[in-house]
Amino acid sequence: MATWFDESRLDDAAVLEAVDGALRVLAESGARVRRAAGDAAEATAAAVARAEELARPRAVIAAGPDSRLLRAVLEPWCPVPFVAWPGPALPGWAGSLDLVVVLAPDGSDPGTASAVAEAVRRGCQVVVACPPTSMVAEHAAGRWTTILPTTTHDQLATAVVVLEYLDRVSLGPRADAEQVAEALDAVAIECSPHRDLAVNPAKVLAIALADSNPLVWGGSVLAARAARRVAESVRRASGRTALAGDAEHLLPVLEAARQRNLFDDPFTDGVPERRPMLLVLDDGAEEHVVREQRGRLQAAAAARGLRVETVTTDAATEVARYASLLLSGTYAAEYLRIGLVED
């Protein structure tokens, strides 16, 4: 069955009302960050006071399957050795001199519970952000454990709680929860379903995504992670190809695209041709390597006549910029889902 994109659905009040639940979840992203930070505020203050009485840890270990986000934020900044360990255990060398931090938005993952229990058994300092009555919280009980209670089940909101703690104990970059929430609110306003197609960047981007096979690129470590998440959202929304990767992985795809012939029929057997499109997630990183890679990608796309779209952000902190780019791309993927109809 053929699928095509009807852009009129993006401004159709009846259609938007029918999918209000999904869009509302996106619009409430900032509120979830504020709620998570508020729920954990007292426990975070106690954990910071406790950390001031202890020596700086020998190393920081981010445990559990949600550790990759912490790695993207902390690896360039952490003043002590840092490792992300997504498996259900810990490195063999982890012990009482080390800090183990864990994100458990749902608190029900057996692998995360196992890693936390192992950290407690070894006498590590442990900081866990999770629902206070969850399986992970039960396994985290110990003398050197601090539980930062969260109830939002939102990975980003839970991560912000842990990152704010690490910021306050000088183990991570600035991560102010209110600034992250404000950045998310700004995206929600800009991409609101109540803003029509002419002034809504997410709806415009959805139209570009509908006619192409997007290649999503971010130059910094966090922008690259946002690119992978956005590509995943596009695949789930459309069932179509969407790739994210480093510049050297995307360049061959751009360079292999054939030149557009103005006299080509854009339809083949009734199906419109979808060419590659470059989607750049720009968080303001201006390192020489980032500028050089962005220039090469854009030049390759221009040489083949391929469309280039850029999502930018002026949020105050690295974490806020990551959140802004991620939510902007997720809104576009959701509008893509709304506009696709089966013939």
pLDDT in tens, 119-166: 999 999 999 999 999 999 999 999 899 999 999 999 999 999 999 999
Instruction: Share the mean pLDDT of the chain.
Output: 93
Q: What is the DSSP letter of 107?
A: S
279 vs 273: CA distance, rounded Å: 18
Among the four given CATH numbers 3.40.50.300, 3.40.190.10, 3.30.70.660, 3.40.50.10490, the one describing domain 54-172: 3.40.50.10490
- pLDDT over 70 (residue 241): yes
pTM of the model: 0.93
Query: By the 8 A CB rule, do 226 and 282 touch?
Result: no
pLDDT value, residue 272:
62
- pLDDT over 70 (residue 267): no
Query: Counting every residue, how long is the chain?
Result: 343
Among the four given CATH numbers 1.10.260.40, 3.40.50.10860, 3.40.50.10490, 3.30.70.20, the one describing domain 3-29+180-342: 3.40.50.10490
In the chain, list all ranges with CATH 3.40.50.10490.
3-29+180-342, 54-172
**Mean pLDDT (whole number) for 244-258:** 95
pLDDT value, residue 264:
62
Long-range interactions of 314-318: CB distance < 8 A, separation 24+ = 314/284, 315/179, 315/180, 315/182, 315/183, 315/186, 316/176, 316/179, 316/183, 317/173, 317/174, 317/175, 317/176, 317/179, 317/180, 318/73, 318/173, 318/174, 318/220, 318/222, 318/283
Amino acid at 206: A
pLDDT tens, 35-82?
999 999 999 999 999 998 888 999 999 998 888 889 989 988 899 999
Q: State CA 218 to chain mean position distance.
A: 12
Torsion of CA 212, 218, 224, 226, to 10 degrees: -70
Residue 55's alpha-carbon distances to 23, 146, 196, in angstroms, are 45, 16, 55
pLDDT tens, 298-337?
999 999 999 999 999 999 999 999 999 999 999 999 999 9
Q: How confident is the model at residue 342 (pLDDT cuts 50, 70, 90)?
A: confident
**Three-class secondary structure of residue 340 per DSSP:** strand
